[in-house]
């Protein structure tokens, strides 16, 4: 069965409290870190305007979000603006496959703490000095970037089996790059060279005139 997908919108979550104060990662579980402005984030409003310009039909659009609080809050902010509060009629899905990369035992720790508490793992990571080595390095009891790409790939099947032609995915920075790597069959070199998207950025993936998939930022 041929895929029905016409457009994909990748939206990184708006500015979180931990984006402003990274020390919060030490005391607050990553999945419950909220947005700094959950009601009126100006960049989230700009992202909504970029999305709304396409005037997508609600019955042909599906919204996806990471299970993490900051992504779900961003989804609510953006989609309520796009569809003017009628989101109860919109197909909305939340998937753990879109969650942030898990840093395991190193979550919330700075480099000095990691080196002191996990010297063997730290030494191994330092030996993997080139970007490809870091791509494959799995954090103790956590994930590598390769792991993130692998699990995001599972979601591609769900998208291709969906009847919806337009999909909005509210994700994290690493997850956004992982999705693009999987979608375009890119190499780890691309992943490591590509910077993380900015908060509330909107990247559009759609078929170009040649029939090949293309991508461009609508808001960054």
Length of the chain equals: 220
* 8 A C-beta contact, residue 24 and residue 45: no
Average pLDDT value for residue range 104-111 = 69
All domains of the chain, ordered by start, with CATH?
A: 7-102+144-219 (3.40.50.1240), 104-142 (no CATH)
In this predicted model, what pLDDT tens digit does every residue of 67-96 receive, in sequence order?
999 999 999 999 999 998 777 889 999 999
Q: Is the pLDDT of residue 2 over 70?
A: no
Residue 216's pLDDT band (cuts 50, 70, 90): very high
What is the structure's pLDDT at 200? 98
Q: Which residue has the higher pLDDT, 115 or 69?
A: 69
Q: Is the pLDDT of residue 118 over 80?
A: no
Q: Is the pLDDT of residue 53 over 90?
A: yes
Secondary structure letter of residue 32 according to DSSP: G
Residue 113's pLDDT band (cuts 50, 70, 90): confident
Q: Which residue has the higher pLDDT, 119 or 20?
A: 20
What is the structure's pLDDT at 210? 87
Q: Is the pLDDT of residue 107 over 90?
A: no
Q: Which residue has the higher pLDDT, 150 or 1?
A: 150
What is the structure's pLDDT at 134? 79
Secondary structure letter of residue 195 according to DSSP: P
Q: Is the pLDDT of residue 1 over 60?
A: no
In this predicted model, what pLDDT tens digit does every residue of 167-192 receive, in sequence order?
999 999 999 999 999 999 999 999 99
Helix axes 42-52, 69-82, angle to 10 degrees: 50
Best CA proximity match to 18, nearest among 1, 10, 2, 30: 30
What is the structure's pLDDT at 25? 87
Question: Which residues, listed in sequence order, are joined to residue 52 by a DSSP beta bridge?
Answer: none
What is the structure's pLDDT at 129? 53
This prediction has a pTM of: 0.90
In this predicted model, what pLDDT tens digit does every residue of 28-39 receive, in sequence order?
999 999 999 999
What is the structure's pLDDT at 106? 66
Q: C-alpha distances in angstroms, 209 versus 6, 106, 206, 212, 213?
A: 13, 46, 10, 7, 9
Residues contacting 64, CB < 8 A, separation 6+: 92, 93, 94, 95, 98, 155, 167, 168, 169, 170
CA dist., res. 79 & res. 77, Å (int): 6
Q: Which residue has the higher pLDDT, 88 or 41?
A: 41
């Amino acid at each position: 069965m041929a895929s029905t997908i016409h457009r994909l919108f990748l939206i990184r979550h708006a500015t979180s409290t931990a984006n402003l104060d990274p020390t919060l990662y030490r005391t607050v579980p990553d999945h419950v870190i909220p947005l700094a402005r959950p009601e009126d984030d100006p960049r989230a409003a700009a992202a909504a305007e970029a999305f709304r310009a396409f005037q997508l039909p609600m019955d042909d659009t599906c919204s996806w979000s990471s299970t993490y609080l900051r992504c779900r809050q961003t989804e609510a902010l953006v989609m309520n603006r796009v569809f003017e509060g009628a989101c109860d009629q919109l197909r909305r899905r939340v998937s753990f496959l879109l969650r942030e990369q898990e840093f395991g035992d190193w979550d919330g720790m700075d480099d000095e703490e990691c080196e002191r508490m996990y010297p063997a793992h730290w030494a191994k990571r330092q030996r993997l000095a080139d970007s490809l080595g870091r791509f494959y390095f799995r954090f103790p009891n956590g994930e590598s970037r390769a792991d993130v790409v692998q699990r995001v790939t599972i979601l591609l099947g769900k998208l291709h089996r969906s009847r919806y032609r337009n999909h909005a995915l509210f994700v994290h920075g690493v997850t956004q790059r992982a999705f693009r790597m999987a979608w375009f069959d890119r190499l780890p070199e691309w992943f490591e060279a590509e910077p993380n998207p900015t908060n509330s950025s909107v990247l559009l993936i759609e078929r170009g005139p040649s029939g090949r998939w293309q991508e461009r930022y609508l808001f960054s």
